[in-house]
């Protein structure tokens, strides 16, 4: 399908959604956008996107609609509330859900949309805002292989590494398993920083050891950045990390999988959120754990 004839709708212009939508526009797709807080659509509209008053409007006539919203409640609302996407999606359209949401909601959404002859692909993403800007996200895809093949040109604008995982539910499950690893690893790094700091090891030495040895990894570099460069615009909100850990725990409970480390990490993330750090990123967690040790990680 030629790009100029392939209309795309985009709903959810938060930290990740806005740069993803901008890339679709740059790639030449006519784009219809909606966001709950309308102001966030302004930069995209200035670049040529069409602003829509409701999700249904953003879906109207679109061949693909990408959704990038916070959580299950948000996905449910933008799909099924009055003037939600389900009111505007045309037959044969493909709904691409990039948000990290539960496999259960994915099944329900896929079933409800099928009755409207609309297809559903779950496409949760990894990496951060910078990768979203560069169109270099890592993406996990769940849904039918046919739908994936049709959506692939759109997905390739957003992501440089795309893994087809299987039916609806599989990619969402895989994403939660990955985020369980991210959350527990990040927590372990906060403890490493606090312990090393309190014992008097200089931060530079701690990081030199990390970089040179088997613990060097992208996740370690995210953790390092939170110490070296705190207070910037958050890349990933702690409230979303907590949401993902809660979803992973739900899944583990359903499958009777003991996940004690994830449970402990949840307690710390819930405390951090209740202390007002939900809209901060990982650097707030570093400071919180250091404060329990009675030290400052920085300075």
Between residues 95 and 295, which has the closer beta carbon with respect to ligand NA7?
95
Shortest distance (Å) from residue 234 CB to ligand NA7: 8
Shortest distance (Å) from residue 166 CB to ligand NA7: 20
Produce one character per residue of 139-152: b if its CB has 16 or more CB atoms within 10 Å, e if not.
bbbbbbeebbebbe
Q: State which residue has the least CB distance to ligand NA7.
A: 14
Question: For residues 190 and 285, is the Cβ–Cβ distance under 8 A?
Answer: yes
Shortest distance (Å) from residue 20 CB to ligand NA7: 9
3-state secondary structure of 50: strand
Those residues with Cβ within 8 angstroms of residue 87's Cβ, 6 or more apart along the chain or in another chain: 56, 59
Between residues 9 and 14, which has the closer beta carbon with respect to ligand NA7?
14
Shortest distance (Å) from residue 180 CB to ligand NA7: 13
Binding residues for ligand NA7, rule: CB under 6 A, are 12-17, 35-37, 40, 68-71, 73-74, 77-78, 99-100, 236-237, 240, 244
Between residues 35 and 290, which has the closer beta carbon with respect to ligand NA7?
35
User: What is the bridge-based pairing of β-strands 8-11 and 94-97?
Assistant: unpaired
Question: For residues 89 and 34, is the Cβ–Cβ distance under 8 A?
Answer: no
Shortest distance (Å) from residue 67 CB to ligand NA7: 9
Between residues 44 and 194, which has the closer beta carbon with respect to ligand NA7?
44
């Amino acid at each position: 399908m030629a790009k100029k004839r392939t209309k795309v709708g985009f709903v959810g212009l938060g930290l990740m959604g806005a740069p993803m939508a901008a890339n679709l526009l740059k790639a030449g797709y006519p784009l219809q956008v909606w966001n709950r807080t309308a102001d966030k659509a302004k930069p995209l509209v200035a670049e040529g996107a069409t602003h829509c008053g409701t999700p249904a409007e953003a879906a109207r006539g679109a061949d693909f609609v990408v959704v990038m919203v916070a959580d299950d409640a948000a996905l449910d609302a933008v799909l099924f509330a009055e003037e939600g996407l389900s009111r505007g999606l045309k037959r044969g359209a493909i709904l691409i859900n990039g948000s990290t949401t539960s496999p259960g909601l994915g099944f329900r959404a896929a079933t409800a949309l099928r009755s409207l002859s609309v297809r559903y692909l779950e496409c949760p993403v990894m990496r951060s805002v910078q990768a979203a800007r560069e169109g270099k996200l890592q993406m996990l895809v769940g849904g039918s292989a046919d739908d994936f093949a049709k959506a692939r040109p759109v997905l390739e604008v957003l992501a440089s590494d795309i893994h087809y995982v299987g039916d609806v539910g599989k990619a969402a499950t895989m994403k939660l398993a990955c985020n369980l690893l991210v959350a527990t690893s990040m927590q372990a790094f906060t403890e490493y920083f606090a312990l090393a700091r309190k014992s008097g090891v200089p931060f530079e030495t701690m990081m030199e050891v990390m970089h040179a040895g088997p613990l060097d990894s992208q996740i370690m570099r995210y953790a390092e950045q939170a110490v070296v460069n705190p207070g910037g615009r958050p890349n990933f909100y702690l409230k979303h990390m907590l949401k993902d850990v809660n979803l992973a725990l739900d899944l583990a409970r359903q499958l009777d999988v003991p996940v004690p480390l994830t449970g402990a990490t949840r307690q710390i993330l819930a405390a951090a959120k209740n202390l007002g750090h939900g809209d901060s990123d990982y650097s707030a967690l570093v400071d919180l754990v250091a404060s329990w040790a009675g030290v400052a990680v920085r300075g």
